[in-house]
Amino acid sequence: MRRPQRFLSLTTTLAALLLWEISTPVFAQYPTKPIRLIVPYPPGAGTDFTARALGERITEALGQQVVVDSRPGAAATLGHGLVAKSPPDGYTLLLATTGGMVSAPALGLPIIYDPLKDFAPIGLTTFVPYSLVAHGGFPPNNMRDFIAYAKERPGKINFGSSGTGTPNHMGGVFLMKMTGIDMLHVPYKGGGPVLTDLIAGQMHVCFISLTSVMPHVPSGRLKVLGVGYARRLKSAPDIPTIAETVPGFSNTGWWGLVAPPGLPKDIVDKLNPIMNKALNSPEVMQRFFVNALEIATSTPQGYTDIIRNDLQAWRKLIKEAKISVDSLP
């Protein structure tokens, strides 16, 4: 009676050892083929710039090409959902955003993933101060004049965003709540299309990262009314923060690298130091500085904590402001 049990135990042990022998070298040799890095916004925005800058460095470190794949739509939740349902093999990564991981879930937008359960955080990459930017021919030149101008024209000022429920959109909502102005929201599928219409004069203002904006400021095609950060940016110290006119206002997001849930710890531990080293390299730091992006690095657990804490904070803020999907402009 004992022999079958002993045989079964031996078989199980051999199978486990065989699995360990097969799987361990696979993790050690990772990667053996190109890695796809999903960006949930169209090309031309700050996320695209960040993904390519990071991808170049990861390619150099790992010896395999990192291919940036833009998957915009549904307030960035399309790209997030795609990665959440991908195999956890390390060959599909995501440049996650506050929009897809925090604001959309906090608002209760229809999504197919849980930001706390359906991703394996690898590390933070960037803090993103969203600034209020206007077409060059728009009359107001600063926040004080803008608020006065908008109050005289309720519902006549349009502001674009990269999609309903994104931080760009919510920045406009919070600004209206805090100042009493009334603007018309026009959602797009990413920051690139918003910027195109803003330059063309089809849009009055928008909240957007300064990455793709600053090249158009010297020519006068665009102007920055205020920065949605806690302090003035080191790369643009002459531009006031919005909070200098509207105390307490902040509209800062972040981007970070995540993978599908269940990614082996070996791969997480391999990728995190590589991306942190890349972000702290003088070349990348200078490129981010010029593009008004604030480099931010973290451990996987540190990034997990940021996602959890920001999600709780946004839910509280949205509840206190009595904002719902149905009430959004």
pLDDT at 67: 98
pLDDT single digits (tens) 135-175: 999 999 999 999 999 999 999 999 999 888 788 888 999 99
**CATH architecture, domain defined by 33-127+253-320:** 3-Layer(aba) Sandwich (3.40)
Q: How far apart are CA 78 and CA 71, in angstroms?
A: 7
**Letter string b/e over residues 230-239, b meaning 16 or more CB atoms within 10 A of that residue's CB:** eeebeebeeb
Torsion of CA 261, 53, 198, 222, to 10 degrees: 140
pLDDT at 197: 95
Q: How far apart are CA 75 and CA 166, in angstroms?
A: 6
Q: How far apart are CA 29 and CA 32, in angstroms?
A: 7
Q: DSSP code of 165?
A: T
Low-confidence stretches of the chain (pLDDT < 70) are: 1-28, 327, 329
pLDDT at 170: 87
Give 95's strand partners: 257
Q: Where does residue 321 rank: exposed (0-12), middle (13-18), buried (19+ CB within 10 A)?
A: middle
CATH topology of domain 129-251: D-Maltodextrin-Binding Protein; domain 2 (3.40.190)
User: Dmax over Cα atoms in the chain, in whole Å?
Assistant: 91
Where in the chain are the domains? Answer: 33-127+253-320, 129-251
Give yes or no on whether 33-127+253-320 and 129-251 have one common fold. Answer: yes
pLDDT at 190: 75
Q: Where are the beta strands (DSSP E) in 102-221?
A: 120-135, 157-161, 183-187, 205-209
Q: DSSP code of 101?
A: I
pLDDT at 28: 67
